[in-house]
Structure 1
């Protein structure tokens, strides 16, 4: 989620909270000044500080409810994830801003709770009251999400919310203690904040300095192999070996912009009014004047998908054509297909070239490129996943037997309701590659298998 989107959500529910507080203020004014003071001749005053902090707390609660319920529809399946730290593992293996946002924002969301709740009453300045109330609130949110299908019950959400409340509580009590007893007595209350900041800084620093990125194929939790029956059709090699690791042609945002502008020029499309939406690893480019054009561009490896939406126009239909004509069209766009690429027709007007790990000196060409050709003799759809990787160096990899042991221990991705594996039949195994979070093409073992009666490829990192 981009910063603009986050700010938009906060702005929307801040206005909702403000409106609710105005209505509540009017009700309190009528109740206190007209009913209590005038009609009942009441003499008690309302503490301004409690009224102020109470209003802030109510506004905050409304914003949390808006973000956790009103911002989404009942589109979830009412699932539960009781695997602690699974969201941290997912964020680490993918190492994307979106995944880390999910973790960090869940912590930040409850910091105001920890700050504001102790200010409502001196009794609430005891840790058991503040942290207990935060725990009750986050459990209520997760439980209602589960029951209403407005979300899933996620144990990590409880942990992160509670951690945020503890940080907030430490901040406010630390400030109160600093004012009354001095800095020495207050330092301990800021410990949760310091520890969390140090932890995240350490994680991101370690990732920055490690040579290669992380692989998203690493499982978040182990499969249950206690009753699994495993059969293998071939003998597995027990000797490790050296293979090459490669680097994808990663792009900066500026380089990606230049590529896209050049691509549109070759398509004779005016890109002067081009709209661009940037994500961490992707750019989305739109030409909306006249016939709409769109490119999704991956910064990590230079792959992209192009669409000319004039294919929705009347009388425009898919058309079969010879490979030579397709190649001429692609050459005009600066796309060159290796001569020995495998060519196939998928459907009317829909074609694909496949290159399977072709080595040319220190380069590895791998992937596929799909196109759709139409009866106005133009290519309107291109999905270019055909990448040329540059060799980085040779690395030592584990043997097939060592990778197989990972399977025996349940260290592989397989999604099922109970995580139970009943049977695995391994037909064959081959060494392939997957792109990591830093744009390196890492060696991976692919076990072509039948898992619980369903065809499945089990991927195990080879390094």
Structure 2
């Protein structure tokens, strides 16, 4: 779940909270009119209690009620695994979620001391926060509406303490009528720590030659009581392999250039700015008739797609040769038309170009392009769909890589990621290993070892990727 999804999920519960706040405030003033002489209620504390209730509704909504029951019995007891995952993917979305999990609990730490003087105690706020967070995590685990994660407990607690330190600095300054150094230091210590942490991570990341590999695990696969059977021979010799670079990976300039070209070519108006869709980017366009189109840019490999919201299943009557020529001229002028591509007409509205698959990437060490371009035509002279799956890769040099045997040892030690983790008693059978390639987070096309095999059943095939560059 990215930050946009979180914010979208928050909105309904914020509306409910505002409604409850208004109703309770109306109830307060009605109570004051009829019962004020007999009972006294402090208005400020009453407001703080209502705010705490509203906050609780929003938190419960986004962490449990807003989710489908699809995580039954899942838990992650690996502390700081979210940081490892964010680092491996160098993911803005995952960094944002870490911050969001802390910010979400700041109001708890702020409101507790304002509701009752006993809550000015650090230990009391700490215990209340941990108990409340544990209740949410346990409910998620039991209901299947989330994963029990130690990192969530950590981040929620840090967020609540950040709010507590902040409000206590204000309270103590008001009570003593002067600024106190120690409370101010506590109030800014948590924000400064995380700014420094992410700053240091950025410096280290920018200093390293290559990017990170997103497929690397945030925690090791538990290989206890997992039977691993090897049915292929492995080489124990190290070697060298070529490394390539694709400048379009995570290239915001390329996104803007393509979007401007599409808008100009098809006479479309861009609506709004660049929107984040997970790790990808998306732009919205509209034509003179109000029809909507989307451009999606895949940051991990530099591919992109253009699609119509008004796609018709019924094939329109189109002049294929005329539209083909127009599109070829446009892409060629923009330097996007794949050279040496083989053209074919797939059906009465779909055309495509294919580039020959690059071979022997490990040793040839030369620039290469690969991929395909598929276009679904329409009778509006604006394609219903464009899939631009073409990569241009420049040779960088050669790097020493580990042997197949060393990669296999990493596998048996659990240094890999599977969508469905292995369970006790499983049998993992490895039938083949090949040297493959994948893009890292900086756009380098790195060599990796790909082990293929099965789990328990020969039909239950799996692929396991292991980094080849040590």
TM exceeds 0.5?
yes
Matches of 2:142 and 2:348, distance apart in 1: 44
Q: Cα gap change, 1:455/1:368 in structure 2, threshold over 3 Å: closer, same or farther?
A: farther
Which residue in 1 is equivalent to 2:75? 81
Which residue in 1 is equivalent to 2:162? 167
Report the 3-state secondary structure (helix = DSSP H, G, I; strand = E; otherwise coil) of the residue aligned with 1:133: helix
Q: Cα gap change, 1:378/1:193 in structure 2, threshold over 3 Å: closer, same or farther?
A: closer
Q: Cα gap change, 1:278/1:410 in structure 2, threshold over 3 Å: closer, same or farther?
A: same
Which residue in 1 is equivalent to 2:93? 98
Matches of 2:70 and 2:82, distance apart in 1: 17
Which residue in 2 is equivalent to 1:223? 221
| Cα deviation, residue 233, structure 1 | 3.8
Q: Cα gap change, 1:443/1:184 in structure 2, threshold over 3 Å: closer, same or farther?
A: same
1:391 aligns with 2:388: no
Q: Cα gap change, 1:347/1:156 in structure 2, threshold over 3 Å: closer, same or farther?
A: farther
Which residue in 1 is equivalent to 2:436? 432
Q: Is the 8 A contact 1:316 1:376 kept in 2?
A: no
Q: Is the 8 A contact 2:76 2:147 kept in 1?
A: no
1:384-407 CA distance string (max 9 Å, x none): 222011123322222211111111
Bigger mean CA offset, 340-349 vs 14-23: 340-349
Q: Cα gap change, 1:424/1:437 in structure 2, threshold over 3 Å: closer, same or farther?
A: same
Q: Which ranges of structure 2 fall in alignment gaps of 5 or more residues?
A: none
| Cα deviation, residue 352, structure 1 | 7.3
User: Which of 196, 201, 204 is the matching residue for 2:202?
Assistant: 204
1:363 aligns with 2:367: yes
Which residue in 2 is equivalent to 1:246? 244
Which residue in 2 is equivalent to 1:307? 307
Matches of 2:297 and 2:182, distance apart in 1: 54
1:118 aligns with 2:113: yes
Report the 3-state secondary structure (helix = DSSP H, G, I; strand = E; otherwise coil) of the residue aligned with 1:356: coil
Report the 3-state secondary structure (helix = DSSP H, G, I; strand = E; otherwise coil) of the residue aligned with 2:68: coil
Report the 3-state secondary structure (helix = DSSP H, G, I; strand = E; otherwise coil) of the residue aligned with 2:358: strand
Which residue in 1 is equivalent to 2:328? 331
Which residue in 2 is equivalent to 1:18? 18
CA RMSD of aligned residues (A): 3.9
Bigger mean CA offset, 330-339 vs 82-91: 330-339
Counterparts of residues 32-431 of structure 1 (less than 5 Å): 32-37=32-37, 42=38, 45-69=40-64, 72-84=66-78, 85-177=80-172, 180=176, 183-186=180-183, 189-190=186-187, 191-250=189-248, 252-263=251-262, 269-273=266-270, 276-279=273-276, 281-290=280-289, 292-299=292-299, 301-308=301-308, 311-312=311-312, 314-316=314-316, 331-332=328-329, 333-334=331-332, 336-337=337-338, 339=340, 353=354, 355-358=356-359, 362-372=366-376, 380-416=384-420, 419-420=423-424, 422-431=426-435
Q: Is the 8 A contact 1:177 1:185 kept in 2?
A: no
Residues paired across the two proteins, number? 452
Q: Is the 8 A contact 2:3 2:93 kept in 1?
A: no
1:285-310 CA distance string (max 9 Å, x none): 43355455433123554311233566
Matches of 1:445 and 1:202, distance apart in 2: 30
Which residue in 1 is equivalent to 2:465? 459
| Cα deviation, residue 440, structure 1 | 2.0
- TM-score if structure 2 supplies the norm length? 0.81
Q: Which ranges of structure 1 fall in alignment gaps of 5 or more residues?
A: none
Bigger mean CA offset, 237-246 vs 145-154: 145-154
Report the 3-state secondary structure (helix = DSSP H, G, I; strand = E; otherwise coil) of the residue aligned with 1:243: strand
Bigger mean CA offset, 343-352 vs 163-172: 343-352
Q: Cα gap change, 1:328/1:193 in structure 2, threshold over 3 Å: closer, same or farther?
A: closer
Bigger mean CA offset, 197-206 vs 338-347: 338-347
- TM-score if structure 1 supplies the norm length? 0.82
1:447 aligns with 2:426: no
| Cα deviation, residue 446, structure 1 | 1.0
Matches of 2:251 and 2:446, distance apart in 1: 21
| Cα deviation, residue 21, structure 1 | 2.0
Matches of 1:394 and 1:240, distance apart in 2: 13
Q: Cα gap change, 1:289/1:452 in structure 2, threshold over 3 Å: closer, same or farther?
A: farther
Q: Is the 8 A contact 1:223 1:421 kept in 2?
A: no
| Cα deviation, residue 456, structure 1 | 1.3
| Cα deviation, residue 249, structure 1 | 2.3
Report the 3-state secondary structure (helix = DSSP H, G, I; strand = E; otherwise coil) of the residue aligned with 2:357: strand
